[in-house]
Amino acid sequence: MTDLAELTAATAHLDPPLVALDVTAMRANAADLVRRAGGKPVRVASKSVRCRAVLDLALATPGFAGVMGYSVREAIWLVRHGVRDVLLGYPSADRGALAELAGDPALTGAITLMVDGAEQLALTRAAAGDAALRVCLDVDASLRVGRLHLGVRRSPLRTPAAAAVLAQEAAAQGFRVVGVMFYEAQIAGLPDSSAAVRLVKRRSAAELARRRSAVVAAVQAAVGRLDIVNSGGTGSLEISSGDRAVTEGHRRFRALRSDAVRQLPSVPAAAGPVLRAAGRAPSGPTYRDAVRRWLRRVRAGGEVPRPQPGSARAAPDRRRGCRRGADPGARRAGRRAAGR
């Protein structure tokens, strides 16, 4: 496998944005993800892989199936370039993109929207007309111990009853409820820095397994069989894939090594300034010293910045934020997405 310094040196004369990829290392990392998923399909997260050719390489790996997309417009673009299954990772308030999605049967059969509240259903229905769009419920997967909250605040949905009510409401409005998603950031993204942290992770995994099964059962009782029960992240592969209720996991396919999570034995596979605008390392644990120095030198980030609530004057196609103001649900969509 090519040394990271060699890849950097080989591209030093080229202007960014660019990335040099060691395909052998990338395929080895992909195969390891599949192994650790224990037979469950791996859905690659496109916000961490901003190159369609690399997405294609991942999807060509046996065991990978589908993309977790960043936005509706990106999902439309991916499907029109051959991707057959895109699950949105975040709710959307992009009415123009929702209307475009609703107008193309090829898109509506391949793209699943993420929702976590009645406001988003109303916004989507107003934009999309009566199209039978696929939706997935984003369910809170954080750990709560008394007043202590561990994990991201992605969704107001937490209990089986609340999830079932929203599923019934979505079905009554003509949506096809095809899945539920849980993202346990306090397990997947928390560095294994001490025995106490590992204890918290084990407790969180046990609590979530019980609640996840109950949520799935309640939603299926309300609207019928689900195609998607997505749970986990790159740092919780073995934990989430071991749950019989889970049908798939989503993975932030990292080209660079993360040393802070013990379950990740991946090897460096990429080098080169990918995105000069970000000015910071990707989310999650920092990389080993050589990569950290390189990131500071080129001011590069390796994935899409998290969506953030923005100004009401912001252009609707700004990818860094979600407009506040006229769109019902836009503020909540931004807050939910900002949790990850």
Most confident of 114-118, 199-203, 271-275, 309-313: 114-118
pLDDT of residue 194: 83
For residue range 91-117, what is the model confidence (pLDDT) as tens digits? 999 999 999 999 999 999 999 999 999
- Answer yes or no: are the C-beta atoms of 307 and 50 closer than 8 Å: no
**SS3 letters for 172-225?**
HCCCEEEEEEECCHHHHCCCCCCHHHHHHHHHHHHHHHHHHHHHHHHHHHHHCC
For residue range 27-73, what is the model confidence (pLDDT) as tens digits? 888 888 888 888 888 899 898 888 888 899 999 999 999 999 989 99
* pLDDT for residue 18 is more than 70: yes
The answer to whether residue 282 is domain-embedded is no
Tokens 């991942």 correspond to what residue?
58
* pLDDT for residue 247 is more than 70: yes
**What Cα–Cα distance (Å) separates residue 235 from each residue in 175, 240, 262, 295?**
32, 10, 8, 22
Confidence of residue 304 (pLDDT cuts 50, 70, 90): low
* pLDDT for residue 325 is more than 90: no
Residue 258: give its domain's CATH number: 3.20.20.10
pLDDT of residue 253: 53
pLDDT of residue 306: 53
Give the lowest-confidence range in 177-181, 209-213, 243-247, 262-266. Answer: 262-266
For range 179-186, the mean pLDDT: 89
Give the lowest-confidence range in 33-42, 123-132, 165-174, 306-315. Answer: 306-315
The answer to whether residue 323 is domain-embedded is no
Range of the structural domain that residue 53 is part of: 23-267
For range 138-154, the mean pLDDT: 87
The answer to whether residue 69 is domain-embedded is yes
Please state, in angstroms and rounded to a whole number, the distance separating the CA atoms of residues 162 and 160.
6
For residue range 191-201, what is the model confidence (pLDDT) as tens digits? 777 888 888 88
For range 261-282, the mean pLDDT: 44
pLDDT of residue 21: 78
The answer to whether residue 9 is domain-embedded is no
The answer to whether residue 276 is domain-embedded is no
pLDDT of residue 79: 97
pLDDT of residue 338: 42
More confident residue, 35 or 214: 214
Which long-range CB contacts under 8 A does 208-211 form with residues at least 24 apart?
208/141, 208/143, 208/182, 208/184, 209/243, 211/158, 211/159, 211/160
The answer to whether residue 281 is domain-embedded is no
The answer to whether the bond into 17 is cis (omega within 30° of 0) is yes
The answer to whether residue 151 is domain-embedded is yes
What does pLDDT average to over the chain? 77
9 CB contacts (<8 Å, ≥6 apart)?
none
pLDDT of residue 303: 54
The answer to whether residue 63 is domain-embedded is yes
**What Cα–Cα distance (Å) separates residue 145 from each residue in 101, 128, 173, 207?**
41, 40, 36, 10
For range 1-13, the mean pLDDT: 75
For residue range 275-298, what is the model confidence (pLDDT) as tens digits? 333 333 444 444 444 444 444 433
Number of separate domains in the chain: 1
